[in-house]
Amino acid sequence: IEQSAYQNDKLAMLGKIAAAIAHEIRNPLTSIRGFMQLLRPHLVQLGKEEYARIVIDEIDRANDIIYEFLNSSKPSTPVKKEVHVDSLLKEVKLLFESEAILKGCDIELSPIDPALTICVDVKQAKQALLNIVKNSLDAIGGSTKAQRGMIGISAVKQSSKVMIMVQDNGTGMDYHTQSKLFDPFFTTKLEGTGLGLAVCYRIIKNHGGHIQVDSDIGTGTQFKITLPLC
């Protein structure tokens, strides 16, 4: 399943819009924050210091959201360095540990040769993998007695590449979903953005890699990513 140039353009356009909006919104936010700091002593006198704290915290949160959104939609040239596949995948697993426990789902990382390395931009590679594992967790939903949620992560060397696999026993996808899943804005979730896999696809392509999906309704999904060896 390939992502067309048109879809890439959509993502690039989104990056530009996000950057423009972020820039325009940041300026008023900065001045609101500044004036709230000036008002703070007056609010203290009124015994309402809490209000100042809330306003400032919320402005900071809005800024963080803008920053994160900008980072996820902005294409940036990967700054590649040698990364151990083993430690990269351990970190990805660790980041989802609490969510997996809450869902009663297991994340299993197969033993990986500690010497195996890839040449990637760590931040981007992590983001791509996080987007995939997050989708697996979403597809698993809650574990039932009949079937415990399982996400398997593994990696193997394949000539001059490393193949990373993420497998889940979640809902699986029908053909229509499979043919659309890398499209920017395609989502089947109520609160989805449909950007996770589009961004993931771009990151992997920018690294000279490939992403492939196998999925069956009721059985689960497997993503296979190949990235160049170091």
Which residues of this protein are in contact with ligand ADP, per CB under 6 A? 131, 135-136, 139, 168, 170-171, 173, 177, 181, 186-189, 192-198, 221
Q: Transcribe 101-130 into DSSP letters.
A: HHHTEEEEE----TT-EEEE-HHHHHHHHH
Q: What is the smallest separation between the CB atom of 184 and ligand ADP, expressed in angstroms?
A: 8
Q: Which is nearer to ligand ADP, 163 or 229 (CB)?
A: 163
Q: Which is nearer to ligand ADP, 11 or 52 (CB)?
A: 11
Q: What is the smallest separation between the CB atom of 38 and ligand ADP, expressed in angstroms?
A: 40
- Report whether 165 contacts 223 (CB < 8 A): yes
Q: Which is nearer to ligand ADP, 17 or 79 (CB)?
A: 17
State the residue number with the nearest CB to ligand ADP. Answer: 196
- Give the burial class of 36: count Cβ atoms within 10 A of its Cβ; 0-12 exposed, 13-18 middle, 19 or more buried: middle
Q: What is the smallest separation between the CB atom of 84 and ligand ADP, expressed in angstroms?
A: 25
Q: Which is nearer to ligand ADP, 121 or 168 (CB)?
A: 168
- Going from the C-alpha of 38 to that of each of 26, 27, 33, 35, 230, the distances in angstroms are 19, 17, 9, 5, 53
User: Distance between CA 91 and CA 59 in Å, rounded?
Assistant: 30
Q: What is the smallest separation between the CB atom of 182 and ligand ADP, expressed in angstroms?
A: 7
Q: What is the smallest separation between the CB atom of 185 and ligand ADP, expressed in angstroms?
A: 8
User: Distance between CA 175 and CA 159 in Å, rounded?
Assistant: 31
Q: Which is nearer to ligand ADP, 14 or 52 (CB)?
A: 14
Q: What is the smallest separation between the CB atom of 222 and ligand ADP, expressed in angstroms?
A: 9
Q: Which is nearer to ligand ADP, 88 or 211 (CB)?
A: 211
Specify the residue for token string 């899943």.
181
User: Distance between CA 33 and CA 30 in Å, rounded?
Assistant: 5
